[in-house]
Structure 1
Amino acid sequence: MKITQITTHHLSHTLEKPFESASMTFTSREHLLVEIHCDNGLIGWGECLGNRIVNDAFIKAMTPLLIGKNALDIEPIWLMLYHTFRDQGQRGATINAISGIDIALWDLAGKFHQCPTYQLMGGAFRTRIPAYATGGFRMIGEDRIESLINEVSGYKNQGFEAVKIKIGFGVDLDVASIKAVRQSLGPDIELMIDANHGYDHIDAARVANQVGDCNILWFEEPVVPEALSSYNKLRTTQPIPLAGGETWHSRWGINEALKQNTVDILQPDVCGVGGLSEAKKILTLCDVHGVRCVPHVWGTSIALAASLHFHAIIPPSPPSPGSASPRFEFDQTHNPFRSSIVTTPFTLDHGYLNVPNGHGLGINIIREELAKHAPQQ
């Protein structure tokens, strides 16, 4: 099964209501998809995390090395690409591009063997994943706390049992926002906070210590990802479990972070950590270091599908019948690609998402929707 063609698809949608995290302003949704054709007619789909233009340049540079390769040689292809491009970066766009290619190859492998991708990766521990709503960004031009309460109340009404909100907009405002959200949700809905590395360790600790009575499940990316020593300090200066890792790419980047005792919860993203191949290896690192794995998810239905297959193979820890499944991050911000590009969109089912059980990733792409959302030249 030889690779004959690799095509990238750019998706772009201008937002009517822009929103902010602590680290960036979203005026549009931008994603890059990877399509790999083989000589037997099979097609695999992948997706890259991060800047679509930069990722596309790397994929185009990698394409000549892939034409003619056996698409089932997933591990040899991964290592060949990494070694060839490691001098251009051991994280960031290099690994984002490899991630999209790797996911597409796993999709192809499942289609070739006529089984779900998770089956080829060792089998599923679960095929229904409890979801949490990701949202709570700061809406530009709206009252922060009022808009936030309206938003999270909607998630509660939809049946979500866990919600994550964005912080990093100033200590006082964040503390007031968190307390207002906890009061609105009540005590039974799990609540997580994500600073998108908007603080140094001093102010992060100030926030966490002031909301320590709000039953926060985790404090995500309190500081910049490079500040491993700040993560380590925060584990002893505030009471909330720390989470991070969506930009600690590859087994090497994540191993170094875990060696320095940075987090209680690791959040690799399959579209950025190195694809499903690398994500599976990172599960071993989590096991060795005694860290929970609760993956980061952000993208289209391709990213959702690949992430669901990854969630399916995460071992229960501890390995007992009562071990809970890690929650699935289900982005609720406006994104037409999340549902429109596939024939069967992912929808919440009594608080859960179902892992696709078709061949490969188990999704069917609507090409007309890809063309519809292609950016204007």
Structure 2
Amino acid sequence: MGKITAIRGHHVGFAPAVPLGNAAGFIRRRDFLLLEVEAADGTIGWGEVGASPWAAAALIRHGLARQVLGQDAAEYGRIFEALLGLRGYDQRGVSIMAASAIDMALHDVAARQRGISVAALRGGALRSRVPAYASGPFMVEGPDPYAGFPRDIDAYLRRGFRAIKPRAGVSPAADGAMAAALRRQVGPDVALMVDFNRGVTARAGLDAAQRMAPAGLLWIEEPTVPEDLPGYRMVAATSPIGIAGGEALGSLAAFREFLETGAVSVVQPDMSVCGGYSGFARVAALCAAWDLPAMPHVFGTLVNFHASLQMAALLPARRGGAAMPYPFVECDVSGNPLQTVLGEVVLDAEGMVALPEGPGAGFELRAEQLAPWITESWSVTA
């Protein structure tokens, strides 16, 4: 069906209308690398890097592209192994992020060339729709960081979300009050989780977890930095709420060490960090050995969201305490224009997103549609 003939990178970004606050600080600029891979027959696939887009682009342009150009996208597994072999000393960082975008795009190309979805390419979807959770609200600047939460939560409920993940970490007392207020607002049937975004100490995270427990949270996410494995153990040992994390981890070895703590109840690999479809599948297998649910973390553009939706459709169902079984898929509700280039995510009456019927990752994107947000583009050809 044609070898890979071109790799094009599009650096896209924007400044949020209102800075997005979490326990680690305020996000005032969001930048991504969207990778466009083209085969000789004209088929195009898309991949994404969110964490280190400029560094990943340099690696692709000046090294990794040579392992991809002239190759058959259907051999994505062999290509992924070749990319891993080029990591050198960078076993857990930018190299795996660059490989993630390539792997996502190659899967997209290979599935489109066959007229099937990526889920079908990888063996067949286990479900036709996936529960979605609203990733928000975010803190605001000023004396009351949680001031806008009631308004935002009402908006999410009107859109049909049945699971919501606000940011937390102002102080244990404020966090406890916030969680209690949200539970009163949404009632008993909406799932609530909170995300500390690695912005508090393990001790503060534990204090907050104990104060938030009456709100019946599904999980607290990243109560401390992922390198603080003893901190994760300490929080989990006495927290009445399950712990989630893993979005910042890249290598399989890093996930192995994370799971060996025994502290994690929900594992959240990000496909743009952990190796795309190929890397996520390996992490999911590792999680299965520990009898833990894996679900995609995604807080980027429509590319990673659609890839994560395909991946979520491949994962076995796990009961985690909510009315709906895991996996969930995370939905950026912060007003991200790169999430809504092709329109808002549509939920059904039960708060679920349907798996797209189209081939590949299920969306049709042209580079010119990204023009308002492109800061730089480049290409490498065979």
Which interval holds the TM-score relative to the shorter structure? over 0.9
Query: For residues 1-377 of structure 1, what are the structure 2 equivalents within 5 Å?
Result: 1-61=2-62, 62-87=64-89, 89-141=90-142, 143-317=144-318, 324-340=325-341, 342=342, 346-350=345-349, 351-375=351-375
C-alpha distance in structure 1 between counterparts of 2:366 and 2:25, whole Å: 30
CA contact (8 A) 1:221 1:243 kept: yes
The alpha carbon displacement at 1:173 in A equals 2.3
* Post-superposition CA distance 1:267-294 (Å, at most 9, x none): 0111111100111122211111011112
* Post-superposition CA distance 1:88-142 (Å, at most 9, x none): x122321111111000000011012221110111111101111111112112247
C-alpha distance in structure 1 between counterparts of 2:38 and 2:296, whole Å: 28
Change in CA separation of 1:323 and 1:214 when aligned onto 2, cut-off 3 Å:
closer
Unaligned runs of 5+ in 2: 378-382
C-alpha distance in structure 2 between counterparts of 1:86 and 1:225, whole Å: 22
The alpha carbon displacement at 1:349 in A equals 2.3
CA contact (8 A) 1:168 1:195 kept: yes
Unaligned runs of 5+ in 1: none
TM-score, normalised with respect to structure 2: 0.92
CA contact (8 A) 2:139 2:146 kept: no
CA contact (8 A) 1:305 1:361 kept: yes
The alpha carbon displacement at 1:206 in A equals 0.7
C-alpha distance in structure 2 between counterparts of 1:51 and 1:370, whole Å: 19
The alpha carbon displacement at 1:376 in A equals 7.4
- What do you get for the CA RMSD once the two structures are aligned? 1.9
CA contact (8 A) 1:301 1:345 kept: no
Q: Is the partner of 2:232 in helix, strand or coil?
A: helix
The alpha carbon displacement at 1:17 in A equals 1.2
Q: Aligned residues, how many? A: 371
Q: Structure 2 counterpart of 1:333, which letter?
A: S
Change in CA separation of 1:27 and 1:364 when aligned onto 2, cut-off 3 Å:
same
Change in CA separation of 1:145 and 1:298 when aligned onto 2, cut-off 3 Å:
closer
C-alpha distance in structure 2 between counterparts of 1:302 and 1:364, whole Å: 10
Change in CA separation of 1:133 and 1:142 when aligned onto 2, cut-off 3 Å:
farther
Identity %: 33
C-alpha distance in structure 2 between counterparts of 1:40 and 1:172, whole Å: 59
CA contact (8 A) 1:145 1:180 kept: no
The alpha carbon displacement at 1:323 in A equals 8.1
The alpha carbon displacement at 1:338 in A equals 0.8
C-alpha distance in structure 2 between counterparts of 1:43 and 1:294, whole Å: 26
CA contact (8 A) 2:140 2:146 kept: no
Q: Is the partner of 1:151 in helix, strand or coil?
A: helix
C-alpha distance in structure 2 between counterparts of 1:221 and 1:48, whole Å: 21
Q: Structure 2 counterpart of 1:293, which letter?
A: A
C-alpha distance in structure 2 between counterparts of 1:259 and 1:376, whole Å: 42
Runs of 4+ in 1 over 4 A off after TM superposition: none
Deviates more, 1:142-151 or 1:179-188: 142-151
